[in-house]
Amino acid sequence: MLRNCTSFKRSQIDATLDIVSKTILHVITYKRTVACSFIQSLRFDRTTTKERRKEG
């Protein structure tokens, strides 16, 4: 009986850790994607301003 209880707690903890790690990974990849798109938009703005200066 006691062995079942500890194994259940362990599996519950493993499941919780799995969910937490997946959530953290999801947040990290989401932030990385947002940062990459933000940097790309900044670079795009710089290139367009350079082209405008050449035209002007």
When comparing pLDDT for 47 and 56, which is higher? 47
Split at pLDDT 50, 70, 90, the class of 2 is low
Per-residue pLDDT tens for 11-37? 888 999 999 999 999 999 999 999 988
Model-wide pTM > 0.75: no
Apex CA 22: angle with CA 19 and CA 28, to 5°?
Answer: 140
CB atoms within 10 A of CB 1: 4
Split at pLDDT 50, 70, 90, the class of 8 is confident
